[in-house]
Amino acid sequence: MLAAEPTSTTNYAATYTAWRLTKETWTRNPGNLLKEIDYSYTGAKLTQEVRTVYDTDGVTVLAQLTIVYSYSGSTLTSATYTRNV
């Protein structure tokens, strides 16, 4: 679930700040969170993703993954994955 997107039986929402995607959320009915991805930027570069998967109550965190992106100039040079939960 951390690497894959939930099925079409969920509701999807994307949040943008200016032109940047800052959050994606998937919810179950009646609105309990299933998964969310928070995006952080430095300038125009994506520098971090935090992916969180929730239990059926929409509150209890089952798994969390942080991805940190590194650049040399405008070239992506690495992505470091850390399983937080």
User: Is 4 inside any structural domain?
Assistant: no
The parent domain of residue 35 ranges over 11-83
Q: pLDDT by residue for the chain (85 residues), tens digit each? A: 666 666 666 788 999 999 999 999 999 877 799 999 999 999 999 999 999 999 989 999 999 999 999 999 999 999 999 999 8
Is 0.85 topped by the overall pTM?
Answer: yes
Provide the β-strand partners of residue 18: none
Q: Cα(63)–Cα(1) distance, rounded to whole angstroms? A: 9
**Own/partner long-range contacts of 67-75 (Cβ < 8 Å, ≥24 apart):** 69/45, 71/45, 74/45
User: Is 1 inside any structural domain?
Assistant: no
User: Is 6 inside any structural domain?
Assistant: no
User: Is 2 inside any structural domain?
Assistant: no
- Scanning the structure block, which residue is given the tokens 């939960």? 85
In CATH, what number is assigned to the domain containing residue 32?
A: 2.40.128.720
My answer on whether omega of the bond before 6 falls inside 30° of 0, hence cis, is no
Q: What is the number of domains present in the chain?
A: 1
User: Is 5 inside any structural domain?
Assistant: no
